[in-house]
Structure 1
């Protein structure tokens, strides 16, 4: 038994999990920034608000949505810089706008300063979303790539839970200070992550790449030599000329991969996740649940974190396609049920006290399903489906479209709810998830356990004989 335990311990690639966790720590800080609005918007309306007056509904919508708008700038910064300074330095540099956001939020006495703080948080979040999945994909072995990629979402959800758990029991400045203090640890943590072997080989630093591979794989120089030579051959093949935007549609496989990843990244936002997370307390009150809004948000945060711990265990077992179509189908059903409940409660004013638990239960199941599939899978696929040459460009475009869809929806969700009823807003979310279910069940290929070359062959419909003929 002891020998079996030692064997399993040696087989556990803790160095890769540690590097992925340290790189993902910034998403905990941005998760706090994203969840900040849920407990803080009620305080901005109260007597202890730092603002001179209570914000209007439109101003609150801008406070919520400007973070998502700031996310649009992240890919615009990371894509051109990634080939010059590498993934590690970009991940470290995200701490600058992150800390700036906490500083501005802490000293804000007017809406304009708060708006800039939200934009700065958004910029940091967009940079992380465009870089960390690629970083993890480039350091991970094929068999644990999905598990490592799921850590990114786990840290985001821990950040949301911290915001939900601290916010209702402290002042505006208490939560803001807590976020700033946690962000101070980000730079020293990321200082210890290695640069990716791919980038080191791309820059001709082969000895450093070999050392990083030896550490990450817990193997000798001779054992990692085949992987190193594979990287060298791939870079020599893919980077004969510098990457260009038109490379994204240079082959049928690239077009297919871009379409899949952009659609799923937009689906991630159109499923309503940012709306629910930003305005959780408000929505729990509006749909008629009887539990207190602050207690409900804490329950939701705990559910997110617990499910995120399960995600790494299942994403490499069940596969991307199965997780996407089952979870998007589930989201469709439970969002529609919340809409029906809200219609009965707020529009027809039926007595629904006997089933008052339904909205919270549906939202809990929503969070479980989102965290298992619709949330992590798009970013895993971004890291898996593109050739090395076009991966950064594709990741930037997918991230940009994700944040664009998120900005539009978070900005106008409350307007739709105010004009046409909260039930209509939930039904729109359900329709979006239904489209995602149809897409995932029919058009999404399975990439579980496949190498990058195997995924490219599948996307381009290349057989083994055709590939050998090309050679």
Structure 2
């Protein structure tokens, strides 16, 4: 007779990785569409602009601002869709406006079409940072939640690097032809991906949830680990169905859920006010103003390349050092780097070694990509149980988009009144506040069940 150890099937993770990569290609396209305007700004503002006339700075600003405004509006819509029709269906829906965005730019070149295209990208962005992290968490086994969750940021940074590289060296319309098919491919491949097992349990499709979970883990349906995992989800689902409808007021009355929401909102706020957008947008100008003579196009590509390296580092470190330690370290490095940028900007050009400013900028970007950006999305998906996940992640994502728009609107006036260095001192101070808040409030989430985390939040 064979022992239980001999007859137990080991399973695999490649289906989880494949589904995760396909789902996160939505974030890849989002990043390309969000940053597309930067490398093509010179073309759009030239006499040979595809729109027929050069775009002014103010017009370009209005085109750019359409994305965060639209995303803010569509966050609650995608939260509803994710709970009503599923995570997979919501991701499929996102691919449609992403495709329209590229098509409009290809075949209807005008200022109006650019705004509409930007709105289309904003529609998908409204679900990118709440639905995709949910899907990542719900299809992955416990020992790879951190690495799987980091895929979102890897995809974003890869998209930024590729669109900047294409924009720098490839003709305007050729770029659009190259990237237009990516969301179509995402849609086709996503049709083959499984729905989240947790969502299937939530809507009562227990047999399908069992089959899906076994498929994702590479195990048989009668495997004990698969049976136990589905039974745990069923037990949680039956418990929450005995409760009154979970409105936001009801959710916030629960001590554990309220604290989880506060932690998530704080992390999201610190993430938005990390100064990364300012460094990506103005980093080359800051270096030149400080007397650093470097090739502008080379530095434009160096920044996203460094962020991509940071996001790969996050994938490796997330499960080894834990979410809390990684985030605390990232906040400290980010605060020190941003403060150094502010100090150097106040010095006369050439009075500070060029490498110091460059190191400070790159240090901030690595900290952002390694911890400040990815950790909050992973922790949020782990702190919120499946019954409240879509609602609370939607609220936090909406807060982030609203704050992003406010920051874009306030950055130029603050720079004009106090100097650009003042922004970086502010960003550094926010990172230190984030460090203190996470140190005191946030539990380590690595390897813990939602029941363990909720118990910790109730007594902490």
Same fold (TM over 0.5): yes
Residue 94 of structure 1 aligns to a residue whose secondary structure is: helix
C-alpha separation in 2, matches of 1:261 and 1:359: 32
- Partner deviation per Cα, 1:125-179 (whole Å, 9 max, x = no partner): 2211110111111111122111110111111111011011111112332333333
Return 433-442 or 50-59, whichever deviates more: 50-59
1:107 offset after TM fit, Å? Answer: 4.2
1:195 offset after TM fit, Å? Answer: 0.3
- Partner deviation per Cα, 1:173-217 (whole Å, 9 max, x = no partner): 233333323222111121121001111122222111111111112
Return 178-187 or 447-456, whichever deviates more: 178-187
Q: Which residue of 2 aligns with 1:68?
A: 68
Residue 72 of structure 1 aligns to a residue whose secondary structure is: helix
Taking a change above 3 Å as real, the CA distance of residues 427 and 115 of structure 1, as seen in their structure-2 partners, is farther
Q: Which residue of 1 aligns with 2:208?
A: 208
Return 389-398 or 273-282, whichever deviates more: 273-282
Residue 442 of structure 2 aligns to a residue whose secondary structure is: coil
Question: Which of 230, 235, 252 is 1:228 aligned to?
Answer: 230
Residue 148 of structure 1 aligns to a residue whose secondary structure is: helix
C-alpha separation in 2, matches of 1:88 and 1:135: 8
Return 441-450 or 399-408, whichever deviates more: 441-450
C-alpha separation in 2, matches of 1:197 and 1:238: 17
Taking a change above 3 Å as real, the CA distance of residues 172 and 412 of structure 1, as seen in their structure-2 partners, is farther
Q: Which residue of 2 aligns with 1:409?
A: 407
Question: Which of 357, 361, 364 is 1:363 aligned to?
Answer: 361
C-alpha separation in 1, matches of 2:306 and 2:432: 23
Q: Which residue of 2 aligns with 1:342?
A: 345
Runs of 4 or more consecutive aligned structure 1 residues displaced over 4 Å after TM superposition: 9-12, 278-288
1:26-175 alignment, distance < 5 Å: 26-107=26-107, 109-175=109-175
Return 46-55 or 94-103, whichever deviates more: 46-55
1:32 offset after TM fit, Å? Answer: 0.8
1:236 offset after TM fit, Å? Answer: 0.6
1:22 offset after TM fit, Å? Answer: 1.1
Residue 231 of structure 2 aligns to a residue whose secondary structure is: helix
Taking a change above 3 Å as real, the CA distance of residues 402 and 379 of structure 1, as seen in their structure-2 partners, is same
Q: Which residue of 2 aligns with 1:383?
A: 381
Question: Which of 428, 439, 442 is 1:441 aligned to?
Answer: 439
1:423 offset after TM fit, Å? Answer: 1.5
C-alpha separation in 2, matches of 1:194 and 1:131: 15
- Partner deviation per Cα, 1:402-460 (whole Å, 9 max, x = no partner): 11111111233234334432212222222222221222222222111101111111111
Taking a change above 3 Å as real, the CA distance of residues 441 and 192 of structure 1, as seen in their structure-2 partners, is same
C-alpha separation in 1, matches of 2:289 and 2:111: 25
Taking a change above 3 Å as real, the CA distance of residues 215 and 109 of structure 1, as seen in their structure-2 partners, is closer
How many residue pairs get aligned? The number is: 449
1:329 offset after TM fit, Å? Answer: 1.3
C-alpha separation in 2, matches of 1:11 and 1:418: 59
Q: Which residue of 1 aligns with 2:453?
A: 455
Q: Which residue of 2 aligns with 1:243?
A: 246
Residue 459 of structure 2 aligns to a residue whose secondary structure is: coil
Q: Tell me if the contact between 1:164 and 1:294 (Cα under 8 Å) persists in the aligned partners.
A: no
C-alpha separation in 1, matches of 2:20 and 2:395: 23
C-alpha separation in 2, matches of 1:390 and 1:33: 30
C-alpha separation in 1, matches of 2:116 and 2:164: 22
Residue 39 of structure 1 aligns to a residue whose secondary structure is: coil
The two structures have a TM-score, normalised by structure 2, of 0.92
Return 208-217 or 266-275, whichever deviates more: 266-275
1:303 equivalenced with 2:306 (yes/no): yes
Return 203-212 or 421-430, whichever deviates more: 421-430
Q: Tell me if the contact between 1:284 and 1:296 (Cα under 8 Å) persists in the aligned partners.
A: no
1:45 offset after TM fit, Å? Answer: 2.4
Question: Which of 394, 397, 401 is 1:396 aligned to?
Answer: 394
Taking a change above 3 Å as real, the CA distance of residues 214 and 287 of structure 1, as seen in their structure-2 partners, is farther
